[in-house]
Amino acid sequence: EHLETQHVSISPGANIHYTFPQLYFYKPNLWWPNGMGKQHLYNVEITVDVQGYGESDTWSHHFGFRKIESHIDSATGGRLFKVNGQPIFIRGGNWILSDGLLRLSKERYKTDIRFHADMNFNMMRCWGGGLAERPEFYHYCDLYGLLVWQEFWITGDCDGRGDPVSNPNGPLDHDLFLLCARDTIKLLRNHPSLALWVGGNEQVPPPDINAALKNDLQLHPYFVKSNDSDTSAIT
Amino acid sequence: MVEIGKIVLDTGWLAARSTEVEVNGVELTTTRPPTQPESPWMEAVVPGTVLGTLVKNKLVPDPFYGLENESIIDIADSGREHYTFWFFTTFDCKLSNNQHVDLNFRAINYSAEVYLNGHKEVLPKGMFRRHSIDITDILHPDGQNLLAVLVYPPDHPGRIPPQGGQGGDHEIGKDVAAQYVEGWDWMTPIRDRNTGIWDEVSITVTGPVKIVDPHLASTFFDGYKRVYLHSTIELVNKSAWVAECSLNIQVSTELEENTFLI
């Protein structure tokens, strides 16, 4: 039941989207943040074989079944999280990058992130003035159960506040910002540790960027919570 | 013939300041490649930054020791050309019939020109974007392929005020790049503004059809008893004929070491 083969014809030079029939799992092992349970990871492997050629390409990725929900609490103004339906008390650390010269080795990511897990943290927040972190960073957050709050590249100081007051209209090229945002989302979206996208640090992005990010990152209607309370939303 | 899959290009890179290299990208990747780390060429850190390469070669001190950062010239004073660098490497890749190969940069700060065996490609601006170039028709079928990348710093590296401050003069905010590089209350200014090939470089070999950016998502029902995995992929047919494809998705879990449940 966890194996599916489909046939598809692709025209010369064409670029297509293809959606597999959904795969059914009965009570899969869930992925939990650090301190709430194990970080169960499944390996998803996709291959394409071409008639007359053989195996043409292959792709694999660790995948964790988890549902992350969050909302702003009206009483406190704080953001409350649930993972797999369970409330979680967030113990978070701020993160910029592991090295100012961007020597971002797997070994260093592993050590840094495991250190955060050993400190009993369950979330790392990637600050808007730093990096969209790399897949290796997310890989170890997947392994050690660190949820990631990933911000895009807007800060209060450079984008509307600061001394002297900076330009609130963000980068000069808004289309470039959105192109980079969309590409980053595609790069990172399959990691179970990825919990929340945020426009920036201490500042709201310019209205057109903010609106586009909100639109692009909203749930596909297929996944939006329905009246059926058993139907679940995903991030 | 190479197997399908990814080959990471993270060794054997050389680098040189662009103003000290007298040949152009076409010459570098055809008739006049650098052969060893002789001046102005040096061993490069890829992935990494120009400053990382200069530190590795002991041409500047490590900026994170003591006040050593003060002795490294800032891009605002040196000009952007001081931190505009060539990066060079070679690789072998012998393809069989109907194989295709892409050259991939997972991130460059901030823009670049790529030369491969004399062919030029411009990589547009943006620190947080991937670049992928189909190089199938450019590869040398036998022997070495010569790759040179001219990397330009951010367009608006800014100037650090004498009193420092959050994000310096905020000019870096005009670009789509990391902003901490102009200095913050927790960080000294990064003199090259993190210019460089700062993430993985690779080539990927595929057959006629390539998988691009799969998307996995799950839905949950009945108190997490009934769960569905949804998978969407992009497929690119690089061939000149209709490709009849068999797509396979398989989910496995490692029960114990080397024992898998499918």
A83 contact residues in B (CB cutoff 8 A):
none
pLDDT at B24 over 70: yes
How far is Cα B197 from Cα A102, in angstroms, rounded to an integer?
A: 10
> What pLDDT was estimated at residue B142?
80
Least confident of A66-70, A160-164, A212-216, B188-192: A160-164
> What pLDDT was estimated at residue A164?
86
> What pLDDT was estimated at residue B2?
83
Kind of pairing between the strands at B100-105 and B119-123? unpaired
How far is Cα B160 from Cα B182, in angstroms, rounded to an integer?
A: 7
Decide if A24 touches B, using CB distance below 8 A: yes
> What pLDDT was estimated at residue A1?
55
Q: What stretches of A79-131 show up as alpha helix (H) in DSSP?
A: 106-118
pLDDT tier, B259 (very low <50, low <70, confident <90, very high otherwise): low
Q: Before B40, cis peptide (omega within 30)? A: yes
pLDDT at A162 over 60: yes
Contact A2/B262, CB-based, under 8 Å? yes
Over residues B25-34, the pLDDT tens digits come to 999 999 999 9
Decide if A14 touches B, using CB distance below 8 A: yes
Instruction: Give one DSSP letter per residue of A52-83, joined into a string.
Output: TTEEEEEEEEEE-B--EEEEE-TTT--EEEEE
Enumerate the active-site residues of A: 202
Task: Strand A123-126: give its sheet, edge to edge.
Answer: A92-95, A123-126, A147-151, A194-198
Which amino acid does the sequence have at A192? P
> What pLDDT was estimated at residue A227?
40
Mean pLDDT computed over every residue of chain B = 95
Least confident of A15-19, A162-166, B159-163, B247-251: A162-166
Q: Answer for the pair B132, B103: CB distance below 8 angstroms, yes or no.
A: yes
pLDDT tier, B106 (very low <50, low <70, confident <90, very high otherwise): very high
> What pLDDT was estimated at residue B37?
81
pLDDT tier, B35 (very low <50, low <70, confident <90, very high otherwise): confident
How far is Cα A154 from Cα A199, in angstroms, rounded to an integer?
A: 7
Query: Which of B95, B182, B227, B259 to probe the A interface (max A CBs under 10 A)?
Result: B227
> CB-based burial of residue B96 (10 Å sphere; 0-12 exposed, 13-18 middle, 19+ buried)?
exposed
H helix or E strand, kind and range, residue A180: helix A174-188
CA A110 vs. chain centroid, Å, equals: 18
pLDDT at A91 over 50: yes
- As given in the structure block, the two tokens for residue A195 are 């919990």
Which amino acid does the sequence have at B18? S
pLDDT at B77 over 90: yes
Give the chain B residue whose CA is nearest to the CA of A175: B176
Decide if A120 touches B, using CB distance below 8 A: no
Mean pLDDT of A67-92: 96
How far is Cα B195 from Cα A231, in angstroms, rounded to an integer?
A: 47
B2/B131: higher pLDDT: B131
pLDDT at A226 over 50: no
Q: Which residue has the tokens 């702003």?
A: A72
> What pLDDT was estimated at residue A224?
62
pLDDT tier, B260 (very low <50, low <70, confident <90, very high otherwise): low
B142/A151: higher pLDDT: A151
**Listed residue (A36, A142, A135) closest to A90, CA to CA:** A36
Q: For a pLDDT cut of 70, what percent of chain A falls above it?
A: 94
Mean pLDDT computed over every residue of chain A = 93
> What pLDDT was estimated at residue A218?
86
Mean pLDDT of A4-12: 94
**Listed residue (B198, B197, B178) closest to B189, CA to CA:** B178
Which amino acid does the sequence have at B57? N
| In A127-206, beta strands by DSSP E | 147-151, 194-198
Round the CA-based radius of gyration of chain B to a whole number and report it. Answer: 22
What is the greatest pairwise CA distance in chain B? 69
Looking at the DSSP bridge assignments, the partners of residue B254 are B260
A 191-230 → B contacts, CB under 8 A: 222-223, 230
> What pLDDT was estimated at residue A228?
44
How far is Cα A131 from Cα A150, in angstroms, rounded to an integer?
A: 9
pLDDT at B84 over 70: yes
Contact B4/A11, CB-based, under 8 Å? no
Residue A122's SS3 state is coil
How far is Cα B23 from Cα B18, in angstroms, rounded to an integer?
A: 9
Query: Which of B102, B247, B254, B258 to probe the A interface (max A CBs under 10 A)?
Result: B247
pLDDT at A18 over 60: yes
Minimum distance, in Å, between the CA of residue B253 and any CA atom of chain A: 5
C-alpha dihedral, B72 to B78 to B84 to B88, nearest 10°: -50
Residue A36's SS3 state is coil
**CA geometry: angle A47, A49, A54, nearest 5 deg:** 125
- As given in the structure block, the two tokens for residue B51 are 């400053």
> What pLDDT was estimated at residue A231?
45
Give the 3-state secondary structure percentages of chain B, helix then strand then coil, rounded to 5: 15, 40, 50
Q: Answer for the pair A30, A42: CB distance below 8 angstroms, yes or no.
A: no
Query: Which of A38, A41, A48 to probe the B interface (max B CBs under 10 A)?
Result: A48
> What pLDDT was estimated at residue A4?
84
Q: Answer for the pair B81, B151: CB distance below 8 angstroms, yes or no.
A: no
Contact A130/B4, CB-based, under 8 Å? no
Upper half-sphere CA count for residue B2 (Cβ side, 13 Å): 21
Kind of pairing between the strands at A147-151 and A194-198? parallel
Over residues B197-211, the pLDDT tens digits come to 999 999 999 999 999
> What pLDDT was estimated at residue B253?
87
Instruction: Give one DSSP letter per residue of B191-259, joined into a string.
Output: TTTT-B--S-EEEEEE-SEEEEEEEEEEEEETTTTEEEEEEEEEEEE-SSS-EEEEEEEEEEEEEETTE
H helix or E strand, kind and range, residue B56: helix B50-56
Q: Which residue has the tokens 């979330």?
A: A123
How far is Cα A25 from Cα A66, in angstroms, rounded to an integer?
A: 13
